[in-house]
A and B are shown apart, each in its own frame.
Chain A
Amino acid sequence: MRVSDVARVLESVVDPELGIGIVELGLIYGIAVGPAGVRVEMTTTTIGCPMSSLLMDAAEAAILARAEAASVEVVHVTEPPWDPAMLSRVARRTLGLPES
């Protein structure tokens, strides 16, 4: 299993409030694949958002179910803070932000 495989799986995990994938939102800060399993570092758009744990659980469930990882660790990170500059072009369009 490669990092790109995990990234592809994470593309299907959607923030249920915004209706945008967590990869498109720029929430994934890092993916590491090793003998021990998969480690994902991710953030949220707002600090203190109750959705955080939902998104992290969904990411973990998606990797376990579809990337067949032995173990998955999803870690919430707050540095650097999330910024709209991290949004993909599709996400910007969905939110109504200028694409450039």
Chain B
Amino acid sequence: MTAQPTPASSPPAWNVLPFFLLAPIGLVAGGALVADSGADLDVAINRPESLAAVHAIVLGWVSTTILGALYQLGAAVFRANYPGPIVTRLQLALHGTAILILVLAFRDWQRGWMMVGAVALACSFALFLCTEGVAIVRGAGRGLAREYVLVAMGLLVLTAAAGLALAAGLRWGWWTIGDSRVAAHAHLGAVGWTGLMVMGVSYQLVPMFNVVSRTQPRLGRPALGLTATSLLLFAAVMWFGPDRPERMLVSGLLAVGPILWSIDQLRLLRHRARRRLDIQGLATVASLAMLALAVAVGLVVASGALSDGSERTRWLVAYAALGLAGFPGTAVIGNSYKIVPFVVWYRRYRPLAGRERVPTLSDLYSERLARLVLVGFAAGVLAVAGGVLTDAGMLVTLGGALLSVIGVVHVGGLLHTLLPRASSPRLPAWEVKA
């Protein structure tokens, strides 16, 4: 009947939902680790607690959600064959175990277990790329979002390789582990994997949920090309020659792609027919604001204007909070409150649509709770970043505790979608038989 993308081949709901429901444990743990660090967070960028918190949030929360989202969007949007329930269950178990090992190993600074966690995590990502990744490559879907996803998956390989190299270096002392190599790995993961994934998925979801029809993305491909190319240059310089003068140039170049993407997203939002922003629209605006702040702080760090030592470290930690957690986290919150209700609606109400009155997607989740999660998360990230920059340890502790609490509320908000619902009273009257 149609060549359009269709959710008809989507995975069964309970193969996707556990990714979304378990992922916020990473935010809870990461927030608790930040709160526990408090005033010590700005002592060094690679403190055990800081590394544990970053990996709990980025891998535990953001990446696990991305994996679940891609198993759903791969089938529904990119027309990829779903790899099957055994793969998704194995994926979730392997990924969760690997992150648990890695986060605990960082916290307790157990180098042997770090290597074990890194290898397990690499296996998890390899499983994902060899199954869902290959399915998306072979899928009939085309378009900008898919191109971003494919490039992000390629950069995930480099991120994992750099992570394994760092873990092996720590374990066996084969090479030195400096801040620059950590930065190369962190940027490959934050910009290449989670960043490009968020950027690409936005090209699919922002026009769809905000009813954008009078314009098309204009800067998507230049933004993708520039981001990927400059990221590879940045990672190479930081890994192999961090003292080279090109370092400042490639750092600046790295900001251009995300800025182009932001301009494109703002233009799409400006042309939306859905003027009242819902949680996804608000989260998109929040993620753009977080990205702008991260880019600004990152450029200050890259400019060399800061004195070496604690001042530079404080700015680096603030940059990490905004870029690693704030930008992808806000987007993940907004998209979670679209994907999870859709998965539930599709399983429960789709067979009844057209035959009887059924709830709408917005009936399935609490918009108020979703907004509370978004605002609380953004406030937590800003408190951590602001606290680190102003050397206010109590603010960092409060921010971390808030992130932890918001992680719990987020799980509650997502579980809320599973409750049975009556049809919406706002729907048109049910007509008599013609």
**A interface footprint on B184-227 (CB within 8 Å = 1, 0 otherwise):** 00000000000000000000100111011110000000000000
Judge whether B273 and A95 touch: CB under 8 Å.
Answer: yes
17 more contacts with CB within 8 A, not counting A8-B431, A16-B360, are A12-B357, A12-B429, A16-B349, A17-B342, A17-B360, A19-B361, A19-B362, A46-B211, A50-B208, A52-B4, A53-B8, A67-B433, A76-B1, A82-B213, A83-B213, A84-B273, A95-B211
Judge whether A50 and B428 touch: CB under 8 Å.
Answer: no
The smallest beta-carbon distance between B399 and chain A, in angstroms, is: 33
Q: Which residues of A contact B (CB under 8 A)?
A: 1, 5-6, 8-9, 11-14, 16-19, 21, 24, 44-46, 48-54, 56-62, 65-68, 74-76, 81-84, 87, 95-97
Chain A residues with CB under 8 Å of B7's CB are: 50, 53-54
Judge whether A62 and B4 touch: CB under 8 Å.
Answer: no
Judge whether B273 and A13 touch: CB under 8 Å.
Answer: no
Chain A residues with CB under 8 Å of B273's CB are: 45, 84, 87, 95, 97
Judge whether B433 and A66 touch: CB under 8 Å.
Answer: yes
A–B Cβ pairs within 8 angstroms, 17 of them: A8-B431, A9-B431, A16-B358, A16-B360, A46-B208, A48-B5, A49-B208, A50-B4, A50-B6, A52-B5, A57-B353, A57-B354, A58-B354, A66-B434, A67-B433, A76-B4, A84-B214
**B274 at the binding interface (Cβ < 8 Å):** yes
Instruction: Indicate the size class of the contact surface on chain B.
Output: 35 or more
The smallest beta-carbon distance between A77 and chain B, in angstroms, is: 11
Judge whether B434 and A74 touch: CB under 8 Å.
Answer: no
Chain A residues with CB under 8 Å of B426's CB are: 19
Judge whether B428 and A21 touch: CB under 8 Å.
Answer: yes
Cβ-closest chain B residue relative to A4:
B434
Chain B residues with CB under 8 Å of A48's CB are: 4-5, 77, 143, 204, 208
Chain A residues with CB under 8 Å of B172's CB are: none
Judge whether A12 and B2 touch: CB under 8 Å.
Answer: no
**B270 at the binding interface (Cβ < 8 Å):** no
**A interface footprint on B5-26 (CB within 8 Å = 1, 0 otherwise):** 1111000000000000000000
Which of the residues A50, A51, A74, A95 comes within 8 Å of B276, measured between beta carbons? A95
> Known contacts A8-B434, A97-B273: does B4 contact A13 (CB below 8 Å)?
no
Judge whether B433 and A68 touch: CB under 8 Å.
Answer: yes
The smallest beta-carbon distance between B64 and chain A, in angstroms, is: 22
Chain A residues with CB under 8 Å of B354's CB are: 13, 57-62, 65
Judge whether B1 and A56 touch: CB under 8 Å.
Answer: yes
Which of the residues A16, A50, A81 comes within 8 Å of B5, measured between beta carbons? A50
Judge whether B2 and A18 touch: CB under 8 Å.
Answer: no
Judge whether A1 and B434 touch: CB under 8 Å.
Answer: yes
Judge whether B5 and A49 touch: CB under 8 Å.
Answer: yes
Judge whether B211 and A56 touch: CB under 8 Å.
Answer: no
Chain A residues with CB under 8 Å of B274's CB are: 18, 95-96
Chain B residues with CB under 8 Å of A97's CB are: 273, 275
Which of the residues B207, B276, B346, B430 comes within 8 Å of A46, measured between beta carbons? B207
Q: How far is the CA of A83 from the CA of B276 in the complex (A)?
A: 18
Judge whether B212 and A52 touch: CB under 8 Å.
Answer: no
**B76 at the binding interface (Cβ < 8 Å):** yes
Chain B residues with CB under 8 Å of A76's CB are: 1-2, 4
Judge whether B275 and A96 touch: CB under 8 Å.
Answer: yes
**B345 at the binding interface (Cβ < 8 Å):** yes
Chain B residues with CB under 8 Å of A13's CB are: 353-354
Judge whether B355 and A5 touch: CB under 8 Å.
Answer: no
Chain B residues with CB under 8 Å of A54's CB are: 7, 346, 350, 353
Cβ-closest chain A residue relative to B349:
A16
**B419 at the binding interface (Cβ < 8 Å):** no
Q: How far is the CA of A45 from the CA of B211 in the complex (A)?
A: 6
Judge whether A56 and B431 touch: CB under 8 Å.
Answer: no
Judge whether B355 and A17 touch: CB under 8 Å.
Answer: no
Cβ-closest chain A residue relative to B143:
A48
Judge whether A19 and B360 touch: CB under 8 Å.
Answer: yes
**B427 at the binding interface (Cβ < 8 Å):** yes
Judge whether A19 and B434 touch: CB under 8 Å.
Answer: no
Chain A residues with CB under 8 Å of B204's CB are: 48
The smallest beta-carbon distance between B195 and chain A, in angstroms, is: 23
**B310 at the binding interface (Cβ < 8 Å):** no
